[in-house]
Amino acid sequence: MICFRDKTFCADIDCVKFEVCPKAFTEKEKIASIEWWGSKDAPISFYRYRLDCYVAREEEEEGESKCK
């Protein structure tokens, strides 16, 4: 199956690391996928479940981050 950039993306925008994560499907990636495919319905692969590296915003604020 063909998919954008031949990779699977994370769409978990609630994660503290989302904007700097190489797996994040950011607005920049969204724009690039539209340009690549030529329309908004580009084939994009997303993880079905939350990744182990996820850090909730509340956890980060409370200093309880489990990820390093």
pLDDT at 61 over 90: no
The CA-CA-CA angle for residues 48, 53, 54, to 5°, reads 70
Over range 57-66, report the average pLDDT: 59
Instruction: Give the residue extent of every domain in the chain.
Output: 4-56
DSSP, collapsed to helix, strand or coil, labels residue 46 as: strand
Predicted structure pTM score = 0.79
> So what's the pLDDT on residue 62?
55
Computed over every residue of the chain, the mean pLDDT equals 89
> So what's the pLDDT on residue 63?
54
Over range 16-20, report the average pLDDT: 95
Confidence of residue 57 (pLDDT cuts 50, 70, 90): confident
